[in-house]
Structure 1
Amino acid sequence: MDTELISKKDLLELMNISYGQLYRWKRKQLIPEEWFIRKSTFTGQETFFPKAQILSRIGKIIAMKDDLSLDEVAGKLSPLLYDLRLRREEIIERNIVSSLVMDRLGNRADGDGTYSFERMLFLFTADKLLQTGEMNLEEGGQLLQTLQEHFSKFEGKGCDLVFIRKMGVSAFALISASGELYFEGKVKLVARLSMTVCLEELKTKLT
């Protein structure tokens, strides 16, 4: 389940924007640092972006930049959602997480019966993999445990969730965003998800 990428050259041409605009928006934090992915190519090092997310983000910036300052655009694109809490019924009604996943994996609401933004992110990520058929519910429990134990260690920096399987035994890990991984031949990389991309997708659903 690899994220489709677009090169910087193709992005600039497709969106009809300049190099200067792109990096000005980066400095203003309109585009997350983690979306600038450096990869080796036959011509050397090039920059790529998660295609769906960067096209959507730049489309929104272009639509707003004539009427708002860049600081105002940043406020629109980065709403303060981290303090948002929702009940189980609201999460299902807003199509954030399926009822099946909430029933089987989402039984750890806080004392007031609500779910934190971080908890919703973990469930949203599990639901994303379950919907593809790449993961079963038991593995979904492993995924949630991995995120609960280690996600906070990245302190807001970009990280990727790695899902591997060897001889029917599955495992999950969190690594720094864009870090390279190499496995022995018998290990199957089932999926690699950018947690930054998952977070952005969740924010879109919540706004």
Structure 2
Amino acid sequence: MSEELISKKELLDLTGISYGQLYRWKRKSLIPEQWFIRKSSFTGQETFFPREKILQRIDRILNMKEDLSLDDLADVFSPNPGEVSLSVEELLERNIVTSTSLNLYLETVNITDQPILGFEKILVVYALDLLLLSGDISLEEGRLLVRTLDKYFPGKTGRECAVGLTRKMGVPVFFLVPGDGGMFVDDETRTVAKLSMARCTEELKLRMGGSEG
């Protein structure tokens, strides 16, 4: 499935940002280099962007730049999770995830003590929390999600991959696919939920940074 593109001129007109802002954000790594796509047009070479991704990113930058410096924003959007780790108590005290999701995660991966969790494991709990709170998945499906991510997600933190849930004849199947593009399934299979793990990484960084003190 090909991604819908937007031209640079249309992007600047639609968002009201300037050419200078766009390229400053690129230099600061707020907008990935690979989103600047050079294509031939009737006027010669023109720059295009993945429409949905760039519009979402610019909207987030504009809404957050009053509270965060460009360097702080670059850290939020960076695929590198950093060396962040929190205890179970800290995750609950700072309302980063709910106790239901955290306990379900710990039970599923068979952790019985009170561990310190690194960013990648916290991200799995956060994705589980989002899907449980949305009502898209059941507790039993939550366990399946944890087992799927625990097996296949390590090392992919921050990369553009999506986790989703399909159901066919009532049977749930979780999938992990590269990128944020669509996935073709047969007519009898229903896509119930889909999460961008890169977007979850950004949101979790903000929650972990903004919920202190």
Match of 2:152 in 1: 150
Partners of 1:174 and 1:56 lie apart in 2 by 25
Match of 1:127 in 2: 129
Q: Encode CA deviations 1:158-195: one digit per residue, 9 max, x unaligned.
A: 11112111111111111111333111000000111111
**Change in 2 beyond 3 A, CA 1:33/1:88:** farther
Shift of 1:96: 1.1
Q: Which runs of 5+ in 1 are unaligned?
A: 1-6, 39-44
Query: Superposition pairs for residues 118-197 of structure 1, below 5 Å?
Result: 118-152=120-154, 154=156, 156-197=158-199
Instruction: State the identity %.
Output: 35
Residue 37 of structure 1 contacts residue 48 of structure 1 at CA under 8 Å; is this kept in 2? no
**Change in 2 beyond 3 A, CA 1:178/1:148:** same
Instruction: Report the aligned-residue RMSD.
Output: 3.4
For 1:174, the aligned partner's letter is: L
Partners of 2:119 and 2:173 lie apart in 1 by 25
TM-score by length of 1: 0.74
Equivalent of 1:59 in 63, 76, 83:
63
Partners of 2:129 and 2:113 lie apart in 1 by 23
Partners of 1:22 and 1:145 lie apart in 2 by 40
TM-score by length of 2: 0.72
Per the alignment, in what secondary structure is the counterpart of residue 152 of structure 1?
coil
Partners of 1:96 and 1:53 lie apart in 2 by 22
Is 1:30 aligned to residue 36 of structure 2? no
Higher alpha-carbon Rg: 2
**Change in 2 beyond 3 A, CA 1:96/1:116:** same
Per the alignment, in what secondary structure is the counterpart of residue 176 of structure 2?
strand
Q: Which runs of 5+ in 2 are unaligned?
A: 1-5, 38-47
Partners of 1:111 and 1:81 lie apart in 2 by 24
Residue 106 of structure 2 contacts residue 112 of structure 2 at CA under 8 Å; is this kept in 1? no
Residue 37 of structure 1 contacts residue 49 of structure 1 at CA under 8 Å; is this kept in 2? no
Residue 85 of structure 2 contacts residue 119 of structure 2 at CA under 8 Å; is this kept in 1? yes
Partners of 2:36 and 2:143 lie apart in 1 by 30
**Change in 2 beyond 3 A, CA 1:160/1:23:** farther
Match of 2:41 in 1: none
Mean CA deviation greater in 99-108 or 120-129: 99-108
